[in-house]
Structure 1
């Protein structure tokens, strides 16, 4: 199915809401029917984008609306890995509580914590 320019622009604007941490606007869009697991062309879900861009409130909003913590992007990254990389304990805690696997993905959250020598992040991950 081909999308129109207008539809593509709309979907890009939703992805931008996650990047920018616009939690309330994103919640409204999802509550109006936008999929909580909308994914970019590179496989980045809204949750991965929110975690990577360091927006824990947006992470929380997405999790409350059923965002999948198990999604892996085209580079083998997860939302939990992104939160660890960004050293955001709030997002890490939210994702772990939602069942995110610290060993999932080609670049797992645990691997990232070890590689970048982040013992404070490693301590937040379940063993």
Structure 2
């Protein structure tokens, strides 16, 4: 692959991560259905799901989960999509992730720890007892 090809791939990947940040569920579905790995990570280890969950885009989260995204896949610092959704206080995304098998005790900090740390204790009711 040439340097120009590498630059185009990096540019395309950036656009796909922007789709996740901006909640473009249809765009994400199109790219994943066309062969983009659903668990693609960026330079920080963020997955498409992590970004969609963190930014509170429930439709994008649902599309990615339906296509097999890892609900527990941590980013490089150790946080999971569920911890990101808890940090933001997004109940709808929290419910979607839990329904897909997200573990509230996975990651560092875990979603359970994040709920306490960031005073989102109203979300603890969605986690089964540890």
Q: Above 0.5 in TM-score?
A: yes
User: Which deviates further from its counterpart, 42-51 or 1-10?
Assistant: 1-10
- Which entry has the higher C-alpha Rg, 1 or 2? 2
- Mapped partners of 1:41, 1:69: distance in 2: 19
Distance in 2 between the 1:109 and 1:15 partners? 23
TM-score normalised to the size of structure 1? 0.95
Residue 75 of structure 1 is matched in structure 2 by 77
Structure 1: stretches of 5+ with no match in the other structure: none
Deviation at 1:106, TM superposition (A): 1.2
Distance in 1 between the 2:94 and 2:82 partners?
6
The residue that corresponds to 2:113 in the other structure is 111
Q: Which sections of structure 2, spanning at least 5 residues, go unmatched?
A: none
| Aligned mates of 1:118, 1:35 — CA distance in 2 | 32
Query: How far 1:34 moved relative to its partner?
Result: 0.6
Distance (whole Å) between structure 2 residues aligned to residue 13 and residue 45 of structure 1: 13
2:63 corresponds, among 61, 64, 70, to: 61
Number of aligned residue pairs: 127
- Hey, what's the Cα distance between the residues in 1 that align with 2:99 and 2:128? 10
Aligned Cα RMSD in Å? 1.3
Counterpart CA distance in 2 for 1:49 and 1:120 is 22
Q: Does 1:96 align with 2:88?
A: no
Q: Which residue of 2 aligns with 1:45?
A: 47
Q: Which has the higher helix share?
A: 2
The structural deviation recorded for 1:126 is 2.2
Distance 1:126 1:92 in 2: 13
Where does residue 35 of structure 2 map in the other structure?
33
Deviation per residue, 1:73-115 (Å, 9 max, x gap):
1111100001111111111001001110101111110000011
